[in-house]
Amino acid sequence: MKIRPESEIPIFLQITQGLEDAILAGVYPEESQIPSITEFATTYKINPATALKGINLLVEAGIVYKKRGLGMFVATGAVEALRKKRKEQFYDTYVVAMLEEAERLQITPEELREMMERGWKK
């Protein structure tokens, strides 16, 4: 997981997304502990409030939960929930952007389909 300060995405969202990616990739399996706010803040040299804000988004979404005095853990069913959410976002974030770029480059739907076939095969 990497934080890019120069990115257009606010830092707290980068934390959220980075953690989501890590959970989806199995870095933090369900019911395992994720790093603390302090660890996030010190590792990425960011204000703890920013890290808290990013992680709270996952707490609100039920992806991670707090155990008093112990830390934060990945919820059971988190992977499934994330996958569902990401699929919903997939069209907006990737498909729309891809089509816009395709239009700029005057790529025809046929060419695009062909490219995707090629990508699947790899």
Partner 1 sequence: MKGIQVRNVTKTFGKVTALEQVSVIFEPGKIYGLLGRNGAGKSTLLNIITNRIFPDCGEVTLDEEAIQERDALLGKIYLMSEKTFYPESMRVREAFHWTKMFYPDFDQAYAERLAAQFALDTGKRVKALSTGFLSIFKLVIALSVNTPYVFLDEPVLGLDANNRDLFYKILIEKYSETPFTMIISTHLIDEVANVIEDVVIIKNGRVICAEPRETLLERAYTVSGPAAVVDTFTAGRDVLGVETLGGFRLAYLMGTAPDTLPKGLEKAPVDLQKLFIQLTNV
8 A C-beta contact, residue 41 and residue 3:
no
- Torsions phi, psi of 5, nearest 5? -60, -30
CB of 19 to partner 1, least distance (A): 17
- Look up residue 74 and give its two tokens: 């990945």
**Measured from the CB atom, is 38 or 76 closer to partner 1?**
38
Tell which positions 47-86 bind partner 1, by CB under 8 A: 47-50
Q: Which of 26, 27, 33, 42 binds partner 1 (CB under 8 A)?
A: 42
DSSP 32: P
Q: Which of 45, 84, 118, 121 binds partner 1 (CB under 8 A)?
A: 45
8 A C-beta contact, residue 62 and residue 75:
yes
**Which residues in this chain contact partner 1 in the complex, by CB under 8 A?**
3, 5-6, 8, 10-11, 37-38, 41-42, 44-50
